Structure 1
């Protein structure tokens, strides 16, 4: 990733789960990292410049953007329960608009934004819904019933506006559940015991190390415009055959193709083509028959 060498990269939400790993990877590839966080990062944090501030603040973001060549915007309330509905929604949409608009207004040409699979609305939906078809892709119909999903949907609209108005290229990464290998192993156990719980996210997941690499690839990609891309590991977080899972838990949802073994029923081609991204870290799970008790 030679294109990162000596580039000043602002990372918002730098002290978070993904931000910490992303800052380390960017620094490893020669980037000069400015970390913007609402809490002071620990000693030894992989950034040569740290700004403690609020991504909703014009002044704090302006200070953090000084000298920046590229932007990674990760700061957000990460779930519908991470505050009141007002706090979750306003924090996310104001932060994204503030960071992107100021960056673009300064002439910065590229940003990567942490989006979410929730932008299509189903994972945290209040109603008993299943995806309209599989694999989940960029054209999947949306059904949004919560403020977090609405915020991530509107973040994508803000990214398109910024590109159209200022011409800044923006890559939004629609992350699935992202976590460490140990935490993902616990998710896999949950989906082994209760496979239905992973249906609306297509049993997708991503290791934080792969999330960081996707961010770096987004910064050096040759794409133009505003793109929102699904990405995930190539296999599911359930130890059962994908076709068996869909037969039982989504029998009426059309399948646009077949899914051999534990292949994740999500369209990963755009992230492969536009970013050159494929996950390197996958759960080591057996491929088992779906137990009759679970199927029933």
Structure 2
């Protein structure tokens, strides 16, 4: 199995998780990381045909996590081209080799609103895989096109691809710090639905993406079932998105993302959720 971006925030936890499950893991990383737990560690660039060809040798499954993960991670050109070329290179070579399954890190930003510089909000809550997109930045565009590449790979080579629209993913400590910040400024989370995911749950989702009995190219939102804001979700939406339609009501701190597909198709349920007291929201 190949894991790209293996030294990243999600990659390092995923590499360890899959190795502990007994998988033979090749870790491809742009920077050396002596702490990586893998059977084979390669330093290379996912944009390089030669580096990816070497890393795929003997692989039966692929987890593609390598990316520049923010619009400010480089120039617009660097962010966009690094992400789309890397994903195309990895999936196209995997498909040509006849690899049956790949998991790709997409992003909640694939629908465009979170990083949009304009004054926009989601078309509705809960967010779901069919929500209309409004893209105005190069990172979100790259993630949207990564999902297109996944569909092309399946149609051309028959490789089943699972793309995860990850929200903010981080360690338990970092997620709690973000929650502390939302006490004073909860408005910052409205475009993402105050969604988050522990890195351990991200690794678990990837495991399920590799093993679920499915075929085709699928995109899933995955997130914790609760928000990382210490307020009732309905109160947050009343305050910060009063004009946005709600397709249903939300109980307590329930995250306003429809997780039905991930739960029913993959059997995913986050195991590491924040236990936060609910405060009264004062605006």
Q: Distance in 2 between matches of 1:48 and 1:162?
A: 27
Q: Which of 116, 121, 129 pairs up with 1:130?
A: 121
Task: Quote the residue 1:4 is aligned against.
Answer: none
Q: Which of 203, 219, 222 pairs up with 2:210?
A: 219
Summarize the alignment of residues 243-258 of structure 1 with structure 2, pairs less than 5 Å apart. 243-258=234-249
Residue 10 in 1 paired to residue 34 in 2? no
Matched residue of 1:123: which SS? coil
Summarize the alignment of residues 11-50 of structure 1 with structure 2, pairs less than 5 Å apart. 11-43=3-35, 45-50=36-41
Q: Distance in 2 between matches of 1:124 and 1:245?
A: 20
Summarize the alignment of residues 1-296 of structure 1 with structure 2, pairs less than 5 Å apart. 9-43=1-35, 45-291=36-282, 295=283
Q: Distance in 2 between matches of 1:218 and 1:203?
A: 24
Q: Deviations over 1:254-274 (max 9, x none)?
A: 111110100000000100111
RMSD (Å), alpha carbons: 0.7
Q: Distance in 2 between matches of 1:147 and 1:186?
A: 28
CA shift for structure 1 position 141: 0.9
Q: Distance in 2 between matches of 1:166 and 1:97?
A: 13
CA shift for structure 1 position 104: 0.7
Q: Deviations over 1:30-72 (max 9, x none)?
A: 10000000112214x2101111100000000000000001000
Q: Distance in 1 between matches of 2:167 and 2:276?
A: 19
Q: Distance in 2 between matches of 1:216 and 1:113?
A: 12
Q: Deviations over 1:62-117 (max 9, x none)?
A: 00000001000000000000000000000000000000000010010000001100
Q: Distance in 2 between matches of 1:284 and 1:59?
A: 46
Structure 1 moving runs of 4+ over 4 Å: none
Normalising by the residue count of structure 2, what TM-score does the alignment of the two structures yield? 0.99
Task: Quote the residue 1:6 is aligned against.
Answer: none
Matched residue of 2:223: which SS? coil
CA shift for structure 1 position 130: 0.9
Normalising by the residue count of structure 1, what TM-score does the alignment of the two structures yield? 0.95
CA shift for structure 1 position 168: 0.3
Q: Distance in 1 between matches of 2:264 and 2:92?
A: 27
Q: Distance in 1 between matches of 2:134 and 2:182?
A: 24
User: Which ranges in structure 1 are unaligned for 5 or more consecutive residues?
Assistant: 1-8
